[in-house]
Structure 1
Amino acid sequence: MSKEILQRLDQLSQAALASGDLLPVQAQEEQLQDQGLSFFVRWVSTLAAKDAASVSIPGGPRDPNFNPFLPPAPALTVDDVSATHNIVLNKFAVCDLHLVLADKVFSEQLHPLRAIDFRALADFLAEQGGLGFYNGGAAAGASQRHKHTQWIPAAVGNGSLALYLDKLPAQAAPGTAHRHPDLAFEHCFVRLLDTQDATVLSDSLLQAYRLACTELDLVPGADDLLPAHNMLAGQGWLFAVPRSVELVEGISVNALSYAGCIYVRTPEQIERVRQIGPLGVLAQAAYANTQHS
């Protein structure tokens, strides 16, 4: 993904903020430590606006089949970037340049991720770094059925897999699966190839995802849909977590929660995360790791 595309995205973002099509991000946060891992627990104004938008419309709650990606809002969409995906600024962003990479045709969110999905992500990850992520199903924090992944740039305070790196083998061979010793829930890390070639990285991501699904017994059912799960990719690793529920005592848990940023709907929920502990929240939203000691 060229710098020109990022410049176009930045220009689009500024114009959309000025027009009101994109909401500014305002946050209240605390940083919490849990077993040596550092988490941001953050109330973000855009998520409160997202909740309000889902119910506060003429005639009552929004149609559950409403699809904001067919078509995506023109004021938030960068044209002529990908043949397979629309690159859309997330209206309810958690940070600057929070992108949605949505299929140009409808596909269920819980269909297994494909080569074209990872190629769209790799176009950003290979040259720009940052974090790619996927909320696979409602129980994993997805609010839309239309298949999409997301990307956020590398920046202070943004979600990242960096918090796990000191307990993962630095010299792990690409394509090998690993567990983090401090995580008491089912998960899998797979080492990625170190490359800035988007095509090569895309292949590495796809193979890593398939290996993680095998390791975690994430198998499509008769409807060809996978069980709910989160996938995150960045900092040289792919990270997958099977999910049991979206909400932990009213706190919504999605992929970014597993990247060190737990986003809450009210400032009061920050204190609840402190009481449970960030790792406790993540564990309750996943499945217990019976091999964790």
Structure 2
Amino acid sequence: MRKDWIAAIDARSAAALASGALQPVAAEQTGMEDAGLRFIVRWVSSLAVKDAAKAATPAGTSAGAPVAIPGGPRDPNFNPFLNPDPELTVGPIGIEHVAILNKFPLCERHLVLARREFEEQLLPLSRSDFAALAELIEVAGGIGLYNGGTAAGASQRHKHVQWMPDTEGNASLRLYTPALPAGLPEGGVARHPALPMQHAFVRVCCARGVDAPTAADTLLAGFRQACEALQLRPGADGLLPPFNLLVHDGWMLVLPRSQECFEGISMSAVCFGGTLYTRQREQIESIRRVGPLQALAAVGY
């Protein structure tokens, strides 16, 4: 197992920023409180650069890993994960995944852990998907994010998990933990009293310092428990209904999704971690008008 992930991410980021392969983070933010929960809403002006890049990228070429905020045409034949840009590639992780810098990151050190071979994003997550995430979390902490399908904010069909560091202002499940059962055993399922949409929290053994194989096992079991609690079951094609998944600091959160956008604002897993992202400054007021919780509830059930 690689132990120098942060050093490797930072070295690759510095080189990619210098060459222009990686776009710098450019965001303004404001805080909002809703039902006693503290949210951050960020206007990410640099995503206009992403839109222009997507419009100019021909099918079959690589432009790095896009984020799950829509705008600009989507070429259904373009897959940035089969042949990722070498300038953005940090290296292999686990036995079936590769770690790639997000070309248009929502924060510093924003990674995509993509499967080396194509697999549908709406297929149930496997142990190897969780093992790649657990390997990174064991040495670097942070939060794991998954967008199951277009309606959940996924911009690519190729299965991939995202990771962000545990940094002030980034997505986190800690805003919810004060209202969750403190003594819930591993595998226990809970609901948060302030969340007005279908969801399931599961206690898992996954955090910085936790052995990655152990964490992978508990994550897979927790995911299956959450799916059962929410009746998220594969259809005849083997694909799950759209959903988001977040893993952070000993908790997993799974939420079924009904649609991608609230008033034109794409909502992906990261938004359910307390940090919402907009493309235009005026969209911040759309969220303020109804409150972050109702904006999130509008894309769930």
Please give the range of the TM-score, normalised by the shorter of the 2 chains.
Answer: over 0.9
| 2:282 counterpart letter in structure 1 | E
Counterparts of 1:62 and 1:219 in 2: how far apart (Å)? 28
1:2 to partner: Cα distance? 4.2
| 1:202 counterpart letter in structure 2 | A
Checking the alignment, whether the CA contact within 8 Å between 2:122 and 2:149 is kept in structure 1 is: yes
1:261 to 260, 275, 291: 275
Give the SS at the match of 1:79: strand
Counterparts of 1:264 and 1:53 in 2: how far apart (Å)? 18
1:5 maps to 5
1:169 to partner: Cα distance? 1.1
Checking the alignment, whether the CA contact within 8 Å between 1:189 and 1:238 is kept in structure 2 is: yes
1:125 to 137, 140, 160: 137
Equivalent positions of 1:209-288 (< 5 A) are 209-287=223-301
Runs of 5+ unmatched residues, structure 2: 60-71
Superposed structure 1 runs of 4+ greater than 3 Å apart? 56-62
Q: Give identity over the alignment, percent.
A: 52
| 2:204 counterpart letter in structure 1 | L
Counterparts of 2:74 and 2:144 in 1: how far apart (Å)? 28
1:81 to partner: Cα distance? 3.8
Question: TM-score w.r.t. structure 1 length?
Answer: 0.94
Counterparts of 2:153 and 2:73 in 1: how far apart (Å)? 19
2:62 maps to none
Checking the alignment, whether the CA contact within 8 Å between 1:46 and 1:94 is kept in structure 2 is: no
Counterparts of 1:117 and 1:233 in 2: how far apart (Å)? 13
1:92 to partner: Cα distance? 1.3
Counterparts of 2:265 and 2:39 in 1: how far apart (Å)? 15
Counterparts of 1:65 and 1:228 in 2: how far apart (Å)? 21
| 2:77 counterpart letter in structure 1 | N
1:79 to partner: Cα distance? 2.8
Equivalent positions of 1:111-260 (< 5 A) are 111-193=123-205, 196-260=210-274
Counterparts of 1:48 and 1:134 in 2: how far apart (Å)? 23
Counterparts of 1:189 and 1:50 in 2: how far apart (Å)? 33
* Higher helix fraction (1 or 2): 1
Give the SS at the match of 1:226: coil
Checking the alignment, whether the CA contact within 8 Å between 1:46 and 1:93 is kept in structure 2 is: no
How many residue pairs align between the two structures?
Answer: 287
Counterparts of 1:199 and 1:57 in 2: how far apart (Å)? 38
In structure 2, relative to structure 1, the CA distance for the partners of 1:177 and 1:61 (3 Å cut) is closer
1:125 to partner: Cα distance? 1.5
1:44 to partner: Cα distance? 1.3
1:79 to 91, 96, 104: 91
1:269 to partner: Cα distance? 0.4
Counterparts of 1:172 and 1:34 in 2: how far apart (Å)? 25
Checking the alignment, whether the CA contact within 8 Å between 1:85 and 1:103 is kept in structure 2 is: yes
**Greater displacement, 131-140 / 190-199:** 190-199
Equivalent positions of 1:44-59 (< 5 A) are 44-56=44-56
How much is the aligned-residue C-alpha RMSD, in angstroms? 1.6
Counterparts of 1:82 and 1:270 in 2: how far apart (Å)? 38
**Alpha-carbon deviations, 1:221-263, whole Å to 9, x = none?**
0110000000000111000000000011111100011000110
